[in-house]
Amino acid sequence: MLTFAERGRGPALVFLHAYPLDSSMWRAQIEFFSNRYRVITPDIIGFGGSQPAAQWTMAQMGDELAALLDRLGIERCTLAGLSMGGYISLPFALSHPRRVERLVLAHTRARADLETERTARNAMIDELKNAGTATLPEKMLPRLLGPDASEEVRGFVRASIERTTAEADIHAVTAMRDREDQTARLPGLLCPTLVVAGSGDAILKVEDSQTMAEAIPRGEFVVIPRTGHLSNLEDPMAFNGALDEFLRRSDSE
Ligand code: MLT
């Protein structure tokens, strides 16, 4: 069962977090959007309060999300997933079109891992098994944050990474390695969808995010300047502004 934080009233707006963080990465979005929305921020299994860690797949996490929405009496929501959160949100939206009114895919991709990426995931799993999480912050911080990220954000992300357990990390890296390719399904994603990229994202190319947005019938695309992989934390004003514009635009459609 997923734990979650909830604030505000109104239409449901659900944020799914990245790896290796937890729902606390949405602090600035909770602050900004909870005056108009019922903001729900679940923790993926093994992260934050969703303990104990256990093996999972993107589809199983989608089932957990559906169960959480049922528990909360939410039929339809706007779903925003960042990176690993997007790997869960995209197939969820495709398989549950009635539950997702609008989708936000931030710093994420539709395709499966390439062979080289699978090899890197396997090396990471081996290292987590053999040495635990000791080197994880040094490995992940330069991948996650652009050079302009503040010291405060760096410290926050480091502390989040340090809270994870090797077991939860292994399950998440395995789920990401084994995720299915969703590219061919993109033309069938019929809800308004905002694709967000960071100009300095070390994990994803801006052009790849743009190509994904173009394959989605009602896809929109925005680049947040001078941010890496976690634009919602690195430049919350710009991220919130882009999301707010998208929500207001699709509200008035
Ligand atoms: C994430 O930010 O959720 C992950 O680092 C993405 C990935 O490793 O593919």
Question: pTM for the whole thing?
Answer: 0.97
Q: Percentage of residues in the chain with pLDDT exceeding 90?
A: 98
pLDDT band at 253 (very low <50, low <70, confident <90, very high): confident
Does residue 54 register a pLDDT over 90?
Answer: yes
Q: What number of residues does the chain have?
A: 253
Ligand 1 pocket by C-beta < 6 Å: which residues? 18-19, 83-84, 176, 203, 229
Convert the pLDDT of each residue in 65-98 to its tens digit.
999 999 999 999 999 999 999 999 999 999 999 9
Does residue 252 register a pLDDT over 90?
Answer: no
User: Beta strands of the chain (E only): which ranges?
Assistant: 4-7, 12-16, 38-42, 77-82, 100-106, 193-198, 219-224
- Measured from the Cα of 109, ligand 1's closest atom is 9
132 alpha carbon – ligand 1 mean position (Å): 18
pLDDT band at 251 (very low <50, low <70, confident <90, very high): confident
Does residue 1 register a pLDDT over 90?
Answer: no
- Give the pLDDT mean for 149-165: 97
With 0-12 / 13-18 / 19 or more C-beta atoms within 10 angstroms meaning exposed / middle / buried, residue 234 is: buried
- Give the pLDDT mean for 22-30: 98
